[in-house]
Structure 1
């Protein structure tokens, strides 16, 4: 039996609707609008929420140009209701036939045209949720750790998206449940950090952004704008239970072609995985006899006389949850060492200006 105790991870001006507070050294402030009628996420910007003037426009090219005027127009809207925050974009293109868009796996469309938002829901300029959509509605979502300058693609939120190519370019819209996000509860400060990004891959991979970027500054989220107006938004009751029942049966026979199979062993095993958002800042995850039978298998790797062991990426849901809390520059935590856990417990979140993570598991191997 191997008992694995892993330690705490150490903390480490647009057009459209004009931002408030714009000035030298100020972060632009945009206002989210409450959707007065239901928003149908179908890729068509014909809902009442999108008939208002745009919340913002992406008027800066930040790569390869450095804060130069954008060559194409991109309009964006932010709206919300009691359950979701919505975003929509209208992306114009002088030659729509050159738009790159594929129906592909989730998190696999980064070579396409795409657009989306980055939400720093605590506005602490440390971590943010990224939601991107290609012109056909394919989703890409990540967690950005601005302290360690890493992005975690293994995080998958539950959200809706749709997109379509038009004669002028393409349009996308998305609905993100508040339950998929972490943010301060009702009655507390409700200003989020926000950035909007459009990738326009033509001769160069052009990146358009909501505001200018100083490349010499060693931070990204500190240069983001702010989003206000989300009154009444609540994170929701973050409680998820996943029970499992696993059955097994094995049979053997003598090493002769005509020998009959003889029953040797059979059994069942109950399992449970629970996730509880104690507060918007802290999340507790526990598992007992987890079932990983549906997890994608590892790709084969060949190595001969290597100095270091082969590295396999983590794909098991229990270990992926909150994995960004354990990201360090030296990969201090490698959860694949826990091969077959009987049970596990994980606490992740933030405390003040720091990020914390506690992980305890008992390995059956």
Structure 2
């Protein structure tokens, strides 16, 4: 599906699942990428420079609702064909990262991971969940009924590349527009992302 230059996606960090997480209410406007990023997980492409980043994350595990112990940043870009999400997962001790899985639909609960939930209707009930770990494993599922139902057999069309260095680990997601169900013909939309 082609989008004209007026198409903007406003992304609001929301809690899609019924998790008692507070403080994640940042807004971020997706930026149109003049040139698509190289999908290499390095995050050094021009489209990721000087782009607004979501930074105020809180914990979902260990100490729910408290500020994250490590700095995490997320930026969103798009073009005619894809939605791009860049993730900076800084870590003071990257040698201790846990990433044991590489297979598709891995058990992400055992690894350090980043979970991206996209809610195209911003109804906080339905969406898709994409998961990666520091070595680029992928897991995905559809979410329905405010997280009460999921389809773990869904294998969406998307990709991710990751890198690890002495500052932490970094991920670059690419998701074709056709992987989403969303309102067609609306120039500006608010989507939920968590």
TM-score by length of 2: 0.81
Matched, 1:43 2:37: no
SS in structure 2 opposite 1:49?
helix
Task: Name the residue aligned to 2:189.
Answer: 190
2: CA distance, partners of 1:124 / 1:98: 37
* Alignment deviations for residues 47-99 of structure 1 (CA, whole Å, 9 cap, x no partner): 11111244201431232213112110011111100000000111111111110
State the 1:103 CA deviation.
4.6
**Does the 8 A contact of 1:158 with 1:176 survive in 2?**
yes
From 86, 89, 96, the equivalent of 2:94 is 96
Unaligned 5+ residue runs, structure 2? 1-11, 13-22
SS in structure 2 opposite 1:63?
coil
Task: Name the residue aligned to 1:81.
Answer: 79
State the 1:143 CA deviation.
0.8
2: CA distance, partners of 1:68 / 1:51: 29
Query: If you compute each CA radius of gyration, which structure gives the higher value, 1 or 2?
Result: 1
State the 1:175 CA deviation.
0.5
Number of residue equivalences: 173
1: CA distance, partners of 2:135 / 2:116: 17
Task: Name the residue aligned to 1:123.
Answer: 122
- The structure with the greater share of residues assigned to strand is 1
* Alignment deviations for residues 203-222 of structure 1 (CA, whole Å, 9 cap, x no partner): xxxxxxxxxxxxxxxxxxxx
1: CA distance, partners of 2:56 / 2:40: 23
1: CA distance, partners of 2:24 / 2:116: 20
1: CA distance, partners of 2:123 / 2:30: 19
2: CA distance, partners of 1:28 / 1:105: 33
Which one has more relative contact order, counting CA pairs under 8 Å at least 6 apart?
2
Task: Name the residue aligned to 2:5.
Answer: none
SS in structure 2 opposite 1:62?
coil
Unaligned 5+ residue runs, structure 1? 1-18, 20-24, 196-365
